[in-house]
Amino acid sequence: MPTGSGQHYRNQQAKRVVITGAGIITSMGLGWQNNADGFRKGRQAFRDITLFDTSNQRVHQAGEVILPDHLPTHQLKPRQLARIDRASHLLLHATAEALNTAGWTTDEIADKIPITLGTSAGAMDCGEAFCQRAVKQPNQRRGQASRIHRYQTQHQAITLENALGIRGPVTIISNACASGANAIGHAFRQIKYGGHQRAIAGGYDALSQLVFAGFDSLQALTTTLPQRPFDANRDGLALGEGAAMVTMETLDSARDRNADIIAELIGYGASTDIHHLTQPHPEGEAALRSMNDACAEAELNPSDIQYINSHGTGTPKNDVAEGRAIQRWAGSNVGEICVSSTKASIGHLLGGAGAVETVISLMALEGQWLPPTTTVETPDPVCTFDLVRQARDAKLDHVLTNSFGFGGANATLILKKFL
């Protein structure tokens, strides 16, 4: 049994935590079914970027979402609706679907359920608009206060609360590309040890010019789409956008209302990679630690886990570091463990990635199938695990999902099929 910080929790009075609702929007489409169908078919959902000018960039495509022309049923005032930003739009769709799936009543939703959101850039497009106006027309203040309000991440959270009648405290975690997984892990602990019966959590990020240009400046974006995580000839990542949210509650709460339980969340690990601001430790030290900690909390051995939805960005350094971490974590059992990166289909959703990949892992657990990385031509030598290149049926009891971010933010979640 791996040891880690998880062992310290055993003295606490712990509650079992289950996921009863999930919502998702990506470039693959809106909703659980569209995404499940797309991933099962191994579709790749990339298109030309229409949101900003990429003519001076090396890359012109991303997993841009085609926003539905309507919002889910909401309580926003016309003025708020008119000013809704793209990130809030994504977040609303995912949360509304999660709440609908959960079947919580309006009163239950309004009953101080805490929300935890993960994002790396929030409504960066509003910040960009503020900046551009301030530079071009320094004395033109009209609309600027609104832009700066909407740029701030708490605005998306409050918009979400107002739109869907939620009235709980908000926590916004910005741990780069691990944010969404951290948010779900944080909510998990709020229920498991914190006395909360229910929680809503997930992550989101919308494409923005600043972030796109940032990854391009680092030459981290692939110029040869499709991106090819774990391919020996991979050359970078593709960016995407979207959101995913889950509703979580104690097992007792779910049972009391005869709720359909999608899966049980049983382990969370978080660690910090101090090797470099943007590069992982080559042997995956911190990744190994977050996987071990999650396993310790879940009271599982690596051999108990059948599938890993990896972080798998497709950058040369990330994939080999994660691969080494998986090898070290699984030991002699590594060949038995199925691994894929679903970023090959929708791109890297940054602060939304961990939450989206949690929901994809839920799809796999519920449907008993493995989402593939369809773009691999020549697997990297680090792939001593079973790299899933085509969707296939599988018996899954436990699934692990990894998220690693800039700044060394690492997070791992473990989901269990609910029996």
Partner 1 sequence: MLSADTNAPIVIKGIGAVSPAGWSANTLVAQTLSDQPLPHEERTREGNNHPAKVRPVPKPDAPQDFARHPRLRRVSAISRFVTAAGIEALGQRRAEAVRQNKLRLGIVVVFATGCVAYTGRFFQEVLDNPKLASPILFPETVFNAPASHLAAILSCTGINYTLLGDAAEYLSGLRLASDWLTTHQCDGCLVIGAEEIDWLISEAVQLFTRDAILSEGAGALYLEMDEDGTSNAPRISCITDPVLYTHDMDRNLAAKKMRAQLELAAEVEKHSLLLDGLQSSKTLDKAENNAWGNWSGQRLSIRKTLGDALGASVAWQCVAAAAQLKSNTPQYQSTLISAVGLNQQSIAAKFIPPIST
Q: Is 225 in the site for partner 1 (CB under 8 A)?
A: no
> Among residues 132, 223, 233, 303, which is the contact residue for partner 1, using CB under 8 A?
132
Contact window for partner 1 (CB under 8 A) among 33-41, 189-197, 324-332, 387-395: 189-197
Q: Angle at CA 60, nearest 5°, toward 350 and 178?
A: 5
Q: Are 187 and 118 in contact (CB under 8 A)?
A: no
> Among residues 64, 205, 231, 273, which is the contact residue for partner 1, using CB under 8 A?
273
- What is the spatial distance between Cα 153 and Cα 199, in angstroms, rounded to a whole number? 19
Residue 307 CB, shortest distance to partner 1, in Å, is 25
Task: Give CA separation, 301 vs 73, 271, 305, 340, 396, in Å.
Answer: 44, 19, 7, 20, 15
Residue placing its CB nearer to partner 1 in the complex, 34 or 278: 278
Contact window for partner 1 (CB under 8 A) among 63-71, 305-313, 326-334, 399-407: 399-407
Residue 139 CB, shortest distance to partner 1, in Å, is 5
- What is the spatial distance between Cα 346 and Cα 357, in angstroms, rounded to a whole number? 11
Closest-CA residue to 349 (of 245, 200, 219): 245
Q: Is 152 in the site for partner 1 (CB under 8 A)?
A: yes
- What is the spatial distance between Cα 177 and Cα 352, in angstroms, rounded to a whole number? 7
Q: Angle at CA 381, nearest 5°, toward 376 and 387?
A: 45
- What is the spatial distance between Cα 376 and Cα 388, in angstroms, rounded to a whole number? 9
Q: What is the DSSP string of 306-359?
A: -EEE------HHHHHHHHHHHHHHHGGGGGG-EEE-THHHH-B-GGGHHHHHHH
Q: Is 3 in the site for partner 1 (CB under 8 A)?
A: no
Active site residue 398: no
Stretch 52-81 residues interacting with partner 1 (CB under 8 A): 56-58, 75, 77
Q: Is 219 in the site for partner 1 (CB under 8 A)?
A: yes
Structural tokens at position 163: 């739109």
Q: Is 354 in the site for partner 1 (CB under 8 A)?
A: no
Q: Is 173 in the site for partner 1 (CB under 8 A)?
A: yes
Which three-class secondary structure state does DSSP give residue 111?
coil
Q: Taken in order 96, 191, 310, 205, is the CA torsion positive or negative?
A: positive
The widest CA-to-CA distance across the chain, in whole angstroms, is 66
Residue placing its CB nearer to partner 1 in the complex, 298 or 387: 298
Q: Is 202 in the site for partner 1 (CB under 8 A)?
A: no
Contact window for partner 1 (CB under 8 A) among 101-109, 127-135, 300-308, 341-349: 127-135
226 upstream amide cis, omega within 30 of 0? yes
- Which one is catalytic: 126, 155, 177, 196? 177
User: What is the crossing angle of helices 124-136 and 209-217, to 10°?
Assistant: 90
- Which one is catalytic: 311, 338, 383, 398? 311
Residue 300 CB, shortest distance to partner 1, in Å, is 19
Q: Is 286 in the site for partner 1 (CB under 8 A)?
A: yes
Active site residue 383: no
- What is the spatial distance between Cα 387 and Cα 401, in angstroms, rounded to a whole number? 15
Q: Is 145 in the site for partner 1 (CB under 8 A)?
A: yes
Q: Is 51 in the site for partner 1 (CB under 8 A)?
A: no
Residue placing its CB nearer to partner 1 in the complex, 79 or 395: 79
Which three-class secondary structure state does DSSP give residue 26?
strand
Active site residue 177: yes
Q: Are 164 and 150 in contact (CB under 8 A)?
A: no
Residue 27 CB, shortest distance to partner 1, in Å, is 22
Residue 338 CB, shortest distance to partner 1, in Å, is 28
Stretch 93-112 residues interacting with partner 1 (CB under 8 A): 112
Q: Is 197 in the site for partner 1 (CB under 8 A)?
A: no
Which residue numbers are catalytic? 177, 311, 348
